[in-house]
Amino acid sequence: MRGCSVCKELEVVRGGVEDYERLAGYHYRERKAGPFAGIFALRAKGHLARRSGVKTVGVIVYKMPSMSCELRNAATGGVFAGFDRVTGLSLVNENVRCISRVIVEPRFRGIGLASRLVRETLAEVDVAIVEAIAEMGMVNPFFEKAGMRKIMVRRPGKSIRKAVDELKKMAEAKANALESEIGMLREEVSSLKQLLGVGEMDT
């Protein structure tokens, strides 16, 4: 919000693990963020810092990307697909970063600070593609507000998933039945060999 006086007393700077740890408890996922590629903090300054006693108001954590991602392939038209593992991993690590956490201290939520964190740090990571898996994206689309583009992959409906699950169960049952039949056949062959007096040396 441009007219927000609080926003004027906040600045985005390069941060560290200590900034994340100050706010980690406010995130809905597990506390540990894991290995990271970069951390930026939204810090209070001047009168706001003195009045609120809060140093870190928000934090964003970037991590290295996964080797393969269905949404990435959809967004890029499969640019990173089809390579051998070493080449593919090198290309992805060189060109992609992933936003793993965006946290804003509860007292400062609702004034656009999550979008600001994303918007002001995208260029700082210096890669062609920045991606984020937004589990709460339908509730608060702050990534889109920051200029990122939403990519969605159609998921199969419940009826289709149920049918697939049933087919898997049928296939598993059939495999178990075949294993049982094979075991019985082996026992019959062994019994016939004993009746005929066929030893191991003759087979």
The letter for the amino acid at 182 is I
- Within 8 A by CB and 6+ apart from 19, the residues are 39, 41, 43, 56, 59
Q: How does DSSP assign 81-128, residue by residue?
A: -SS-HHHHHHHHHHHEEEEEEEEE-GGGTTSSHHHHHHHHHTGGG--S
- Within 8 A by CB and 6+ apart from 82, the residues are none
Q: How many CB atoms lie within 10 A of CB 13?
A: 13
Strand, helix or coil at 17?
helix
Report how far residue 70's alpha carbon sits from residue 153's, in angstroms, rounded to the nearest whole number.
8
Report the phi/psi class of residue 41: left, alpha or beta, with left for phi > 0 and alpha for psi in -120 to 50: beta
Per-residue pLDDT of the chain (203 residues; tens, 9 = 90+): 455 788 888 999 999 999 999 999 888 776 676 789 999 999 988 888 777 778 899 999 999 998 888 888 888 888 998 899 999 999 999 999 999 999 999 989 999 999 999 999 999 999 999 999 877 666 678 999 999 988 876 666 566 667 777 888 888 888 888 888 888 888 888 888 788 876 554 44
pTM of the model: 0.69
Report how far residue 125's alpha carbon sits from residue 62's, in angstroms, rounded to the nearest whole number.
8
Q: Which H helix or E strand runs over 143?
A: helix 142-145
